[in-house]
């Protein structure tokens, strides 16, 4: 059959097969059913099939992918990991610890109950927790033959991990008969966008003559007056500005607070006034310790610096700024003000020109090299044998440090978000393609010998942490429902589930809780996954 021969010859080229797997796997991952998709893990499932039929990809592709992925994950999580160890993040840190520990203990339990080898159990743990960094870390602790079982376990448990958390965050509010939209505004207005702008005409006579900055508008959390009418233009709001009847104000905020503020001030009107958005608005990257960890109320940018912070972007989400918004290292903030004041404020927050849009290849290369070196260094606790962090742990730790400090000497830890996400996803896809090829060789044999026990084990590893985490959050940590849902998504490293919550409420609380719990869970999972597969 010449057609079959042509296919074998084509797919037999390891470089061609690699990129076919990447493209087709990513396309498979984008197929969405009821809001759920496989994402980058689509590459893994195609690679498992290709590996079963004996196809190969270049040996070094998985290693290069692992380095890029681990380093970028560290850089992205570094700005939240260390700050989550203090202040209000302590409760969410405890949640991450409990979820990962329960998942680990459950994994040991099911391995004992169903006589599952620990290399296979480690894969079930990483898949149930939807943690590819955990899979990567565990891979380094195993031989090539054992890695096959690890990847198969991950492939079996991963779908359960994604679906279970998504269902949990959707069903729990229904069981409790709680409407999540009540926390953040109407379901019908800007449901998919947390923040909007409004031009408002002052019609409340009780406000006339009062200073806008001290009028009580700041009581509407996540709602800010960014511009004030002066003649036929809207100019940045200054601390000395007062209310006047018929005056128009430009407000930025979440829908719920914005509607209340509009009713308080007057009524919304058409936006027909000019404003110099290009010169009077900037996107700044926060790296300075002078502002990180402080709320906007403590920084008081309007009174002290003559500018207004209107929005904050953290991780993949943007939310409106308010007095109680705490600024973290790595936040991207939208600031409105006169050009000279903007320049002064950008220096205060540690913004460096061009850092948001440019990638420092030298720093990226040095950071990866330092990560490899750190991963090679052996260390041991008293009474134990020496271990190394490996090619996953070393770059991850260096990335965390650089992501936290922003800059160490001449090495810049910041990577523009689009670039970082591209490198991270590309590295992950390379790693999954290589791991899937190796795991596919024994997938049929593993499924035939273990059978239904693997499915049952995967379900238990997902479900038990979810149930016990909810009890912990509400009974002992005293977190509200939005904090519980967002924190649980972070502790289970489930971004799809966070997307579901964010579509049902305009409150930034789930995003902030997720961002606080996620980094700690990420690090703990890599440690415990390696511990599971190293169990004799």
Write the CA distances from 504 to 179, 192, 257, 283, 305, integer angstroms: 9, 8, 17, 27, 36
Q: Is the pLDDT of residue 123 over 50?
A: yes
What is the residue-averaged pLDDT of the chain?
77
Specify the range with the lowest mean pLDDT, choosing from 45-49, 263-267, 354-358: 354-358
Cα end-to-end span (Å), the chain: 49
Q: What is the pTM of this model?
A: 0.61
- Residue 185: band (very low, low, confident or very high) from pLDDT cuts 50, 70, 90: very low
Q: Where are the domains of the chain?
A: 61-181+372-435+446-533
Distance CA 426, CA 518 (A): 21
Give the bridge partners for 379, in sequence order. 387
Backbone angles phi, psi at 508, to 5 degrees: -80, -5
Average pLDDT over residues 266-275: 74
Q: From 163, 172, 32, select the one nearest 484 (Cα to Cα).
A: 172
Q: Is the pLDDT of residue 353 over 70?
A: no
* Of 532 and 75, the one with more pLDDT: 532
How much is the pLDDT for 288? 79
Q: Is 172 helix (H, G, I), strand (E, B) or coil?
A: helix
Token digits for 504? Answer: 């049902």
Write the CA distances from 212 to 226, 227, 246, 251, 302, integer angstroms: 11, 11, 14, 12, 11
Distance CA 90, CA 93 (A): 5
Average pLDDT over residues 433-440: 78
- Do 99 and 125 form a contact (C-beta atoms < 8 A)? no
How much is the pLDDT for 106? 92
Give residues with Cβ within 8 angstroms of 62, minimum separation 6.
Answer: 430, 431, 433, 434, 435
Which tens digits make up the pLDDT trace of 373-408? 988 887 655 555 556 677 777 888 888 888 777 667
Average pLDDT over residues 109-114: 89
How much is the pLDDT for 354? 55
Most confident of 86-100, 442-456, 467-481: 467-481
* Of 170 and 97, the one with more pLDDT: 97
CB atoms near residue 24 (< 10 Å): 14
How much is the pLDDT for 221? 59
* Of 384 and 91, the one with more pLDDT: 91
Most confident of 23-27, 34-38, 53-57, 82-86: 23-27
Token digits for 350? Answer: 């540690």
Sequential DSSP letters for 231-293 = TTEEEE--TT-B--TT-EEEEEEEHHHHHHHHHHHEEEE---SB--HHHHEEEEE---TTTTT
Which tens digits make up the pLDDT trace of 399-417? 888 877 766 777 777 777 7
How much is the pLDDT for 273? 62
How much is the pLDDT for 107? 92
Q: Is the pLDDT of residue 205 over 80?
A: yes
How much is the pLDDT for 2? 45
Token digits for 450? Answer: 């273990």
- Do 291 and 327 form a contact (C-beta atoms < 8 A)? yes
Which tens digits make up the pLDDT trace of 157-181? 877 787 788 788 878 888 887 776 6
Give the bridge partners for 335, in sequence order. 282, 309
Strands (E), 116-173: none
Specify the range with the lowest mean pLDDT, choosing from 214-218, 344-348, 494-498: 214-218
């Amino acid at each position: 059959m010449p057609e079959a021969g042509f296919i074998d010859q084509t797919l037999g080229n390891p470089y061609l097969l690699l990129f076919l797997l990447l493209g087709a796997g990513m396309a498979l991952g984008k197929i969405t059913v009821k809001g759920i998709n496989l994402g980058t893990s689509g590459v893994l499932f195609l690679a498992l099939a290709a590996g079963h039929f004996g196809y190969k990809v270049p040996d070094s592709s998985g290693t290069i992918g692992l380095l890029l992925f681990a380093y970028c994950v560290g850089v992205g999580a570094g700005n939240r990991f260390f700050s989550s160890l203090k202040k209000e993040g302590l409760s969410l840190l405890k949640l991450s610890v409990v979820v990962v520990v329960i998942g680990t203990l459950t994994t040991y339990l099911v391995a004992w109950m169903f006589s599952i080898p620990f290399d296979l159990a480690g894969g079930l743990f990483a898949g149930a927790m939807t943690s590819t960094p955990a899979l990567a870390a565990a891979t380094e602790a195993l031989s090539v033959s054992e890695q096959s079982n690890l990847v198969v376990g991950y492939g079996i448990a991963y779908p359960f991990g994604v679906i279970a958390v998504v269902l949990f965050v959707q069903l729990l509010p229904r069981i409790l008969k709680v409407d999540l939209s009540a926390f953040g505004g109407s379901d019908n207005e800007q449901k998919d966008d947390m923040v909007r702008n409004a031009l408002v005409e002052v019609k409340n006579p009780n406000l006339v003559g009062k200073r806008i900055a001290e009028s009580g508008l700041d009581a509407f959390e996540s709602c800010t007056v960014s511009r004030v009418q002066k003649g036929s233009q809207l100019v940045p709001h200054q601390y000395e500005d007062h209310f006047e009847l018929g005056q128009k104000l430009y407000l930025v905020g979440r829908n719920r607070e914005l509607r209340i503020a509009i009713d308080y001030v007057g009524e919304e009107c058409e936006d027909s006034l000019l404003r110099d958005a290009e010169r009077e608005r900037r996107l700044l990257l926060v790296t300075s310790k002078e502002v990180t960890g402080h709320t906007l109320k403590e920084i008081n940018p309007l009174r002290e610096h003559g500018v207004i912070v209107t929005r904050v972007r953290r991780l993949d989400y943007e939310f409106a700024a308010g007095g109680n918004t705490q600024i973290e290292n790595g936040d991207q903030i939208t600031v409105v003000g006169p050009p000279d004041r903007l320049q002064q404020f950008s220096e205060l927050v540690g913004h460096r020109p061009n850092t948001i849009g440019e990638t420092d290849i030298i720093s990226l290369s040095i950071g990866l090299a330092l990560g490899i070196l750190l991963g090679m260094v052996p260390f041991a606790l008293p009474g134990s044998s020496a271990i190394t962090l490996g090619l996953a742990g070393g770059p991850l730790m260096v990335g965390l440090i650089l992501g936290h400090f922003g800059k160490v000497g001449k090495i810049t830890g910041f990577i523009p978000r689009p670039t970082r996400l591209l490198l991270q996803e590309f590295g992950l896809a390379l790693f999954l393609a290589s791991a899937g090829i190796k795991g596919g060789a024994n997938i049929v044999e593993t499924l035939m010998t273990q059978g239904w026990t693997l499915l049952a084990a995967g379900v238990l590893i997902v479900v038990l942490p979810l149930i016990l985490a909810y009890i912990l959050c509400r009974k002992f940590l005293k977190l509200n429902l939005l904090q519980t849902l967002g924190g649980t998504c972070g502790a289970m490293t489930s971004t799809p589930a966070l997307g579901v919550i964010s579509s049902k409420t305009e409150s930034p609380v789930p995003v902030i809780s997720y961002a606080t719990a996620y980094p700690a869970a990420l690090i703990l999972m890599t440690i415990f996954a390696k511990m599971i597969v190293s169990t004799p």
